[in-house]
Copies of this chain bind each other. A is one copy, B any other.
Amino acid sequence: MTTDAKILLALRESAGGVSGAALADELRITRAAIWSRIEELRALGYQIEAAPHSGYRLAGEPDVLFADDLAARLAGAGVIGRDVRVFEETTSTNDVAEKLARDGAAEGVVIFAESQSRGRGRLGRQWLSPPRQGLWFSILLRPLLRPQETTQLTVMAATALRRAISHETSLEVKIKWPNDILIGGKKVAGILTEMSAELDRVRHVILGIGVDVNQQAGDFPPELRRSATSLRMECGVAVSRAALAAAALRELDADYERLRAGKFGAVADEWENFCATLGGNVTVQIGDERFHGRAEALDETGALLLRTEHGRLKTIHGGDVLPEKRP
Protein backbone atom coordinates (compact mmCIF):
# COMPACT_ATOMS: atom_id res chain seq x y z
CA MET A 1 0.00 0.00 0.00
CA THR A 2 1.31 3.48 -0.82
CA THR A 3 1.92 6.17 1.82
CA ASP A 4 -1.12 8.12 0.59
CA ALA A 5 -3.26 5.02 0.99
CA LYS A 6 -1.91 4.45 4.52
CA ILE A 7 -2.65 8.07 5.50
CA LEU A 8 -6.22 7.85 4.18
CA LEU A 9 -6.69 4.53 5.98
CA ALA A 10 -5.42 6.02 9.28
CA LEU A 11 -7.64 9.11 8.90
CA ARG A 12 -10.73 6.97 8.25
CA GLU A 13 -10.01 4.70 11.20
CA SER A 14 -9.77 7.62 13.66
CA ALA A 15 -12.88 9.74 13.23
CA GLY A 16 -11.70 12.01 16.07
CA GLY A 17 -8.44 12.82 14.33
CA VAL A 18 -4.88 11.51 14.38
CA SER A 19 -1.77 13.51 15.26
CA GLY A 20 1.00 14.17 12.77
CA ALA A 21 3.45 12.61 15.21
CA ALA A 22 1.43 9.40 15.45
CA LEU A 23 1.12 9.22 11.65
CA ALA A 24 4.85 9.84 11.20
CA ASP A 25 5.64 7.15 13.74
CA GLU A 26 3.28 4.61 12.17
CA LEU A 27 4.48 5.25 8.62
CA ARG A 28 8.15 5.66 9.60
CA ILE A 29 8.53 8.96 7.73
CA THR A 30 9.11 12.51 9.04
CA ARG A 31 6.30 14.84 10.19
CA ALA A 32 7.34 17.16 7.37
CA ALA A 33 6.77 14.35 4.87
CA ILE A 34 3.34 13.70 6.40
CA TRP A 35 2.49 17.39 6.08
CA SER A 36 3.60 17.36 2.44
CA ARG A 37 1.43 14.30 1.67
CA ILE A 38 -1.56 15.88 3.41
CA GLU A 39 -1.14 18.95 1.22
CA GLU A 40 -1.15 16.77 -1.89
CA LEU A 41 -4.29 14.96 -0.75
CA ARG A 42 -5.95 18.33 -0.12
CA ALA A 43 -5.00 19.35 -3.68
CA LEU A 44 -6.89 16.25 -4.90
CA GLY A 45 -9.98 17.47 -3.06
CA TYR A 46 -9.77 15.66 0.28
CA GLN A 47 -10.88 18.04 3.04
CA ILE A 48 -8.38 17.34 5.80
CA GLU A 49 -8.70 19.61 8.83
CA ALA A 50 -5.81 20.18 11.22
CA ALA A 51 -6.34 21.13 14.87
CA PRO A 52 -3.56 21.75 17.42
CA HIS A 53 -4.55 18.93 19.80
CA SER A 54 -6.59 16.38 17.87
CA GLY A 55 -4.36 16.48 14.78
CA TYR A 56 -5.55 15.68 11.27
CA ARG A 57 -9.20 14.80 10.59
CA LEU A 58 -10.92 13.78 7.33
CA ALA A 59 -13.89 16.14 6.98
CA GLY A 60 -14.87 15.51 3.40
CA GLU A 61 -13.93 13.63 0.27
CA PRO A 62 -14.00 14.54 -3.41
CA ASP A 63 -16.10 12.57 -5.89
CA VAL A 64 -13.09 11.20 -7.73
CA LEU A 65 -11.75 7.69 -8.11
CA PHE A 66 -8.25 7.69 -6.68
CA ALA A 67 -6.33 4.40 -6.80
CA ASP A 68 -4.60 5.03 -3.45
CA ASP A 69 -7.93 5.79 -1.82
CA LEU A 70 -9.51 2.63 -3.23
CA ALA A 71 -6.49 0.64 -2.04
CA ALA A 72 -6.97 2.08 1.46
CA ARG A 73 -10.65 1.18 1.42
CA LEU A 74 -9.84 -2.33 0.19
CA ALA A 75 -7.05 -3.18 2.62
CA GLY A 76 -7.21 -6.93 3.16
CA ALA A 77 -8.75 -7.82 -0.19
CA GLY A 78 -8.24 -11.49 -1.11
CA VAL A 79 -8.10 -11.60 -4.89
CA ILE A 80 -10.43 -9.00 -6.40
CA GLY A 81 -9.16 -5.51 -5.54
CA ARG A 82 -5.62 -6.31 -4.44
CA ASP A 83 -4.45 -4.29 -7.46
CA VAL A 84 -6.62 -1.33 -8.51
CA ARG A 85 -5.77 1.06 -11.33
CA VAL A 86 -7.69 4.18 -12.33
CA PHE A 87 -7.55 5.80 -15.77
CA GLU A 88 -8.95 9.21 -16.62
CA GLU A 89 -10.25 7.90 -19.96
CA THR A 90 -10.00 4.63 -21.87
CA THR A 91 -11.63 3.23 -24.99
CA SER A 92 -13.09 0.51 -22.76
CA THR A 93 -11.80 -0.75 -19.41
CA ASN A 94 -12.29 -4.28 -20.83
CA ASP A 95 -9.71 -3.43 -23.52
CA VAL A 96 -7.17 -2.39 -20.86
CA ALA A 97 -7.85 -5.51 -18.80
CA GLU A 98 -7.55 -7.68 -21.92
CA LYS A 99 -4.09 -6.26 -22.65
CA LEU A 100 -3.04 -6.87 -19.05
CA ALA A 101 -4.33 -10.43 -19.31
CA ARG A 102 -2.26 -11.10 -22.41
CA ASP A 103 0.79 -9.64 -20.69
CA GLY A 104 0.34 -12.21 -17.92
CA ALA A 105 -1.19 -10.04 -15.16
CA ALA A 106 -2.38 -11.93 -12.07
CA GLU A 107 -6.11 -12.34 -11.58
CA GLY A 108 -7.92 -9.83 -9.41
CA VAL A 109 -6.60 -6.65 -11.02
CA VAL A 110 -9.33 -4.01 -11.39
CA ILE A 111 -9.34 -1.23 -13.99
CA PHE A 112 -11.51 1.86 -13.47
CA ALA A 113 -11.93 4.72 -15.92
CA GLU A 114 -13.55 8.07 -15.19
CA SER A 115 -14.94 7.86 -18.71
CA GLN A 116 -14.89 5.47 -21.66
CA SER A 117 -14.90 6.60 -25.28
CA ARG A 118 -16.12 3.21 -26.57
CA GLY A 119 -17.76 1.53 -23.59
CA ARG A 120 -19.59 -1.57 -24.71
CA GLY A 121 -22.38 -3.84 -23.57
CA ARG A 122 -23.37 -7.30 -24.71
CA LEU A 123 -23.25 -8.17 -28.42
CA GLY A 124 -21.21 -5.10 -29.26
CA ARG A 125 -23.89 -2.67 -28.09
CA GLN A 126 -22.82 0.79 -27.01
CA TRP A 127 -22.56 1.53 -23.27
CA LEU A 128 -22.65 5.24 -22.43
CA SER A 129 -19.93 6.12 -19.90
CA PRO A 130 -20.03 9.88 -19.25
CA PRO A 131 -17.18 11.36 -17.15
CA ARG A 132 -17.53 10.94 -13.37
CA GLN A 133 -21.24 10.07 -13.51
CA GLY A 134 -20.92 6.36 -12.93
CA LEU A 135 -18.62 3.45 -12.21
CA TRP A 136 -17.06 1.90 -15.30
CA PHE A 137 -14.68 -0.89 -14.40
CA SER A 138 -13.31 -4.28 -15.37
CA ILE A 139 -11.95 -7.20 -13.40
CA LEU A 140 -9.48 -9.79 -14.70
CA LEU A 141 -10.12 -13.33 -13.47
CA ARG A 142 -8.44 -16.63 -14.25
CA PRO A 143 -10.93 -19.20 -12.96
CA LEU A 144 -10.59 -22.98 -13.38
CA LEU A 145 -13.74 -23.23 -15.48
CA ARG A 146 -14.76 -24.63 -18.83
CA PRO A 147 -16.14 -22.12 -21.34
CA GLN A 148 -19.74 -23.22 -20.77
CA GLU A 149 -19.36 -22.62 -17.01
CA THR A 150 -18.43 -18.93 -17.22
CA THR A 151 -22.09 -17.97 -16.76
CA GLN A 152 -21.28 -18.65 -13.09
CA LEU A 153 -19.17 -15.50 -13.07
CA THR A 154 -21.98 -13.35 -14.44
CA VAL A 155 -24.29 -14.77 -11.78
CA MET A 156 -21.65 -14.10 -9.12
CA ALA A 157 -21.09 -10.53 -10.32
CA ALA A 158 -24.82 -9.77 -10.36
CA THR A 159 -25.26 -11.14 -6.84
CA ALA A 160 -22.33 -9.17 -5.41
CA LEU A 161 -23.16 -5.96 -7.24
CA ARG A 162 -26.82 -6.16 -6.19
CA ARG A 163 -25.78 -6.55 -2.55
CA ALA A 164 -23.34 -3.63 -2.70
CA ILE A 165 -25.86 -1.27 -4.30
CA SER A 166 -28.54 -2.34 -1.84
CA HIS A 167 -26.24 -1.77 1.18
CA GLU A 168 -25.01 1.60 -0.03
CA THR A 169 -28.43 3.00 -0.98
CA SER A 170 -30.95 1.01 1.11
CA LEU A 171 -33.00 0.63 -2.07
CA GLU A 172 -34.72 -2.53 -3.24
CA VAL A 173 -32.44 -3.89 -5.98
CA LYS A 174 -33.27 -6.78 -8.32
CA ILE A 175 -31.49 -8.87 -10.93
CA LYS A 176 -32.66 -9.40 -14.49
CA TRP A 177 -31.21 -12.51 -16.10
CA PRO A 178 -28.50 -12.71 -17.22
CA ASN A 179 -26.63 -9.50 -16.66
CA ASP A 180 -28.69 -6.49 -15.57
CA ILE A 181 -29.34 -4.85 -12.20
CA LEU A 182 -32.74 -3.18 -11.81
CA ILE A 183 -34.28 -0.66 -9.44
CA GLY A 184 -38.03 -0.18 -9.80
CA GLY A 185 -37.93 -2.19 -13.02
CA LYS A 186 -35.37 0.14 -14.62
CA LYS A 187 -31.80 -0.77 -15.48
CA VAL A 188 -29.18 0.81 -13.24
CA ALA A 189 -26.19 -1.43 -13.94
CA GLY A 190 -24.99 -4.06 -16.39
CA ILE A 191 -22.37 -6.78 -16.56
CA LEU A 192 -20.44 -7.88 -19.65
CA THR A 193 -18.61 -11.20 -19.42
CA GLU A 194 -15.87 -11.71 -21.99
CA MET A 195 -13.64 -14.76 -22.12
CA SER A 196 -10.56 -16.04 -23.84
CA ALA A 197 -10.59 -19.81 -23.95
CA GLU A 198 -9.52 -23.08 -25.47
CA LEU A 199 -12.23 -25.68 -26.11
CA ASP A 200 -12.09 -27.15 -22.62
CA ARG A 201 -10.43 -24.47 -20.54
CA VAL A 202 -10.92 -20.79 -19.88
CA ARG A 203 -7.69 -18.80 -20.14
CA HIS A 204 -9.12 -15.67 -18.57
CA VAL A 205 -12.39 -13.86 -18.09
CA ILE A 206 -12.92 -10.11 -18.04
CA LEU A 207 -15.94 -8.95 -16.07
CA GLY A 208 -16.94 -5.51 -17.30
CA ILE A 209 -19.30 -3.63 -14.99
CA GLY A 210 -21.11 -0.36 -15.52
CA VAL A 211 -23.20 1.38 -12.83
CA ASP A 212 -25.17 4.54 -13.53
CA VAL A 213 -24.55 6.47 -10.29
CA ASN A 214 -25.04 10.22 -10.43
CA GLN A 215 -26.80 10.99 -13.71
CA GLN A 216 -29.94 13.12 -13.71
CA ALA A 217 -32.86 12.14 -15.94
CA GLY A 218 -31.77 14.67 -18.57
CA ASP A 219 -28.32 13.07 -18.80
CA PHE A 220 -29.79 9.96 -20.45
CA PRO A 221 -30.63 10.08 -24.15
CA PRO A 222 -34.40 10.21 -24.74
CA GLU A 223 -34.61 6.60 -25.99
CA LEU A 224 -33.23 5.31 -22.67
CA ARG A 225 -35.25 7.45 -20.24
CA ARG A 226 -38.07 4.95 -19.83
CA SER A 227 -35.77 1.96 -19.28
CA ALA A 228 -32.71 3.38 -17.48
CA THR A 229 -32.16 5.08 -14.15
CA SER A 230 -29.33 6.13 -11.85
CA LEU A 231 -28.78 5.68 -8.12
CA ARG A 232 -29.05 9.44 -7.65
CA MET A 233 -32.41 9.55 -9.40
CA GLU A 234 -33.68 6.71 -7.19
CA CYS A 235 -32.17 8.02 -3.90
CA GLY A 236 -32.76 11.69 -4.47
CA VAL A 237 -29.17 12.49 -3.43
CA ALA A 238 -25.73 12.03 -4.95
CA VAL A 239 -23.98 8.77 -4.08
CA SER A 240 -20.25 8.49 -3.29
CA ARG A 241 -18.75 6.61 -6.21
CA ALA A 242 -15.59 5.73 -4.26
CA ALA A 243 -17.59 4.22 -1.39
CA LEU A 244 -19.78 2.27 -3.83
CA ALA A 245 -16.74 1.11 -5.81
CA ALA A 246 -15.09 -0.20 -2.65
CA ALA A 247 -18.31 -1.87 -1.48
CA ALA A 248 -18.80 -3.53 -4.88
CA LEU A 249 -15.24 -4.85 -4.96
CA ARG A 250 -15.51 -6.18 -1.39
CA GLU A 251 -18.70 -8.06 -2.24
CA LEU A 252 -17.25 -9.34 -5.51
CA ASP A 253 -14.15 -10.55 -3.68
CA ALA A 254 -16.31 -12.35 -1.12
CA ASP A 255 -18.47 -14.04 -3.78
CA TYR A 256 -15.45 -15.02 -5.88
CA GLU A 257 -14.08 -16.68 -2.76
CA ARG A 258 -17.42 -18.55 -2.43
CA LEU A 259 -17.10 -19.71 -6.03
CA ARG A 260 -13.53 -20.89 -5.61
CA ALA A 261 -14.55 -22.77 -2.46
CA GLY A 262 -17.05 -24.74 -4.55
CA LYS A 263 -20.06 -22.88 -3.16
CA PHE A 264 -21.62 -21.69 -6.38
CA GLY A 265 -24.88 -23.20 -5.14
CA ALA A 266 -25.07 -20.66 -2.30
CA VAL A 267 -24.41 -17.79 -4.72
CA ALA A 268 -27.07 -19.11 -7.09
CA ASP A 269 -29.58 -19.39 -4.23
CA GLU A 270 -29.05 -15.74 -3.35
CA TRP A 271 -29.30 -14.82 -7.02
CA GLU A 272 -32.64 -16.63 -7.33
CA ASN A 273 -33.98 -14.83 -4.23
CA PHE A 274 -33.44 -11.46 -5.85
CA CYS A 275 -34.19 -12.30 -9.45
CA ALA A 276 -36.92 -10.34 -11.24
CA THR A 277 -36.92 -12.87 -14.09
CA LEU A 278 -37.54 -16.20 -12.36
CA GLY A 279 -41.00 -17.59 -11.74
CA GLY A 280 -42.69 -15.78 -14.58
CA ASN A 281 -43.26 -16.40 -18.26
CA VAL A 282 -40.57 -14.90 -20.41
CA THR A 283 -39.42 -14.70 -24.00
CA VAL A 284 -35.69 -15.05 -24.56
CA GLN A 285 -34.12 -13.94 -27.81
CA ILE A 286 -30.81 -15.51 -28.89
CA GLY A 287 -29.68 -14.25 -32.26
CA ASP A 288 -32.66 -14.77 -34.55
CA GLU A 289 -34.30 -17.40 -32.35
CA ARG A 290 -36.92 -16.80 -29.67
CA PHE A 291 -37.83 -19.16 -26.85
CA HIS A 292 -40.95 -18.84 -24.73
CA GLY A 293 -41.50 -20.44 -21.38
CA ARG A 294 -41.51 -20.19 -17.65
CA ALA A 295 -38.15 -19.15 -16.14
CA GLU A 296 -37.79 -21.86 -13.50
CA ALA A 297 -34.27 -21.78 -12.07
CA LEU A 298 -30.55 -21.62 -12.69
CA ASP A 299 -28.64 -24.83 -13.33
CA GLU A 300 -25.25 -25.61 -11.80
CA THR A 301 -23.41 -23.81 -14.62
CA GLY A 302 -25.44 -20.62 -14.12
CA ALA A 303 -27.59 -21.19 -17.19
CA LEU A 304 -31.32 -20.36 -17.15
CA LEU A 305 -33.70 -23.32 -17.18
CA LEU A 306 -36.76 -22.49 -19.24
CA ARG A 307 -39.86 -24.72 -19.06
CA THR A 308 -41.18 -24.56 -22.62
CA GLU A 309 -44.82 -24.93 -23.59
CA HIS A 310 -44.10 -28.58 -24.42
CA GLY A 311 -43.17 -29.08 -20.77
CA ARG A 312 -39.50 -29.67 -21.44
CA LEU A 313 -36.66 -27.86 -19.72
CA LYS A 314 -34.42 -25.85 -22.06
CA THR A 315 -30.99 -24.70 -20.90
CA ILE A 316 -30.15 -21.14 -21.96
CA HIS A 317 -26.62 -19.78 -21.55
CA GLY A 318 -27.19 -16.21 -22.66
CA GLY A 319 -29.65 -14.03 -24.50
CA ASP A 320 -32.07 -11.15 -24.11
CA VAL A 321 -35.14 -11.49 -21.93
CA LEU A 322 -37.75 -9.44 -23.76
CA PRO A 323 -40.33 -7.36 -21.91
CA GLU A 324 -43.68 -9.15 -21.64
CA LYS A 325 -46.51 -7.49 -23.50
CA ARG A 326 -48.95 -5.90 -21.07
CA PRO A 327 -52.61 -6.92 -21.46
Contacts and interface: CB of A to CB of B under 8 A. Distances in A.
Interface string A143-154: 010111011001
A36 interface: no
Interface in A293-327: 317-319
Number of copies of this kind of chain in the complex: 2
Interface of A is mostly: mixed
A91 to B, nearest CB: 11
A178 interface: yes
Nearest to A196: B196
A29 interface: no
Interface stretch (A162-170, A198-206, A220-228, A262-270): A198-206
A52 interface: no
A260 to B, nearest CB: 15
A103 to B, nearest CB: 12
A257 interface: no
A75 to B, nearest CB: 33
A195 B195 CA distance: 8
A150 B147 CA distance: 10
Contacts of A123: 198, 201
Interface in A171-229: 178, 192-201, 203
Interface string A283-295: 0001100000000
Given A146-B317, A148-B147, A148-B317, A194 B194 contact: no
Nearest to A178: B199
A194 B196 contact: yes
A195 B202 CA distance: 9
Contacts of A150: 147, 199
A82 interface: no
Contacts of A193: 198-199
Given A147-B147, A148-B147, A148-B148, A199 B317 contact: yes
Contacts of A98: 102
A188 to B, nearest CB: 21
A193 B146 CA distance: 14
A201 B196 CA distance: 12
A122 interface: yes
A301 to B, nearest CB: 10
Contacts of A154: 199
Contacts of A147: 147-148, 150, 195, 197, 317
A197 B198 contact: no
Given A144-B287, A287-B144, A319 B200 contact: yes
Nearest to A121: B198
Given A147-B147, A148-B147, A122 B318 contact: no
Nearest to A144: B287
A147 B200 CA distance: 10
Nearest to A320: B200
Contacts of A203: 194
12 contacts: A98-B102, A123-B198, A147-B147, A147-B197, A148-B148, A154-B199, A193-B198, A194-B196, A194-B197, A194-B203, A198-B318, A200-B319
